[in-house]
Structure 1
Amino acid sequence: MGWLYMHRAGMGGHETPKAYLDDQLTYEREACEDAPFRGCRVLKSVFTGSTYYAAVERYGEDRERLYVTAVICLVHWNPKAADGLIFGYKDMDEQSGPVEANCPRSILELLTSSSHPYALDWRNRCYAMLRLKERKVADGDILRLPEPLRFTDGSEHREFRVSKRGSKIELRTPDGFGAYRISRLMERRFEIIRPARRIKTFFPIAQ
């Protein structure tokens, strides 16, 4: 499916993309000659950056669960758009093999098992990204990238010393010089080298 754009009136009174998409994915279709009763509801959704992720339950009669799948929507949201088309989205499910693979763990863990190769590949990519983003780096650690990065000052560096200010990470060269910023740092592959810990020596008090 391609992109669908709309004015605010087309959002049916919903104030945010997340609220609109949650509503679109919640419905029931009565049984007919050609198809049985089917229902659909959002168990959990997250709108992060420009992507909407949802764990969507499909159910049949008596609310019996059939399966839970992931739905991913790319979103354009511009409330001040000059042409009034403030909201656009492109939806797909995990079996379409989405490129976007930043789905939160809380949604992935709600999905039922799947044998579809595209869905399995997408889930594996999401978990691989989570493993990168969930790494812990501490003040004083050295981060070693697979290849050097070139910066706007013309310098190239592969290793950086971490300087933490609360949750903020600052990067400097291993000798403590410079100040560098690497976009989407925690989504990159790097080796973490922990500094050697100094072991304190205690001497007994002479009697």
Structure 2
Amino acid sequence: MGWTYTNKPKNVSVRQFFEKQFNRIEDDGKYGKILDCAVVNLRTAYIAYEIGDAQGKREVIAIVCVLDYKPNDYYNFGYKDMDETMGPYRYDCPERILKMLTPTKHEWAREWREKCWERIRAKKTRPKLKKGMVIKFADSIVFSSGRREDTFRVEDPKRLIFSDRWGRRYKLRRYVLDWEFQVLDDFPQKKKIF
């Protein structure tokens, strides 16, 4: 479960790279091939991987690859691959990958799949962002300046531009919207200290 660093040419997609690494056919008819691959937030690849044999037996499992990029290095691409039975702590697998997986009896794989489905269900019930909406995250967001904020007004929902109570503007990353938040009527009033 260590990291592998190698050179990945710029014109090779993550899926093409992993197809070259993971697709295989053995002399006895056993095979493994990637059916689909989805990269989420540039840092995680979720792969639907089919394993089968010449008798027609087949199963589709999930492989999770944590990704790292070093653009100024010859070994510019790193990955750490785990299958779903290893209990990967990444749960933002897309629905299309989960739907391709065949049933499993492995307890850790079932737990991992359920946590991914929980995240998908929560995302579907979350309110859609609208301009002027005030949202409060369950946990504060810590910015590179050291500033911590948890409540924002939506300025531009498409470009993910938000402002705080003092009018400072922020561009949030899309994955932040996967975090738990609630919609407020307006910014909470600050308590006066005398």
* TM-score of the alignment, normalized to the shorter chain, above 0.5: yes
- Counterpart position of 2:192: none
| Deviation, structure 1 residue 54 | 0.7
2: CA distance, partners of 1:168 / 1:86: 29
8 A Cα contact 1:171 1:180, kept in partner: yes
| Deviation, structure 1 residue 188 | 1.1
Q: What does the per-residue CA deviation read over 1:90-122, in whole Å, with 9 as the maximum and x for residues that have no partner?
A: 211011011222222211111112232211222
- Counterpart position of 1:3: 3
Q: What does the per-residue CA deviation read over 1:36-74, in whole Å, with 9 as the maximum and x for residues that have no partner?
A: x42111111123413221101112225x25211001122
For the structure 1 residues 154 and 67, does the alpha-carbon distance in structure 2 shift closer, same or farther, using more than 3 Å as the test? closer
2: CA distance, partners of 1:51 / 1:76: 9
Helix, strand or coil: the match of 1:138?
A: coil
- AA aligned opposite 1:22: E
Q: Select the residue among 79, 82, 85 that pairs with 1:92.
A: 82
User: Any gaps of 5 or more consecutive residues in structure 2?
Assistant: 187-194
2: CA distance, partners of 1:50 / 1:68: 23
1: CA distance, partners of 2:32 / 2:147: 54
- Counterpart position of 1:38: 30
TM-score by length of structure 1 reads 0.71
8 A Cα contact 1:69 1:112, kept in partner: yes
Q: Select the residue among 28, 32, 40 that pairs with 2:25.
A: 28
| Deviation, structure 1 residue 2 | 1.9
- AA aligned opposite 2:2: G
| Structure whose CA Rg is larger | 1
- Counterpart position of 1:53: 46
Helix, strand or coil: the match of 2:100?
A: coil
Q: Select the residue among 12, 15, 19 that pairs with 2:12.
A: 15
TM-score by length of structure 2 reads 0.75
2: CA distance, partners of 1:152 / 1:77: 20
- AA aligned opposite 2:47: A
1: CA distance, partners of 2:142 / 2:67: 32
1: CA distance, partners of 2:163 / 2:46: 35
| Deviation, structure 1 residue 190 | 0.6
Identity in percent? 26
Q: CA RMSD in A?
A: 3.1
2: CA distance, partners of 1:156 / 1:4: 35
2: CA distance, partners of 1:61 / 1:27: 13
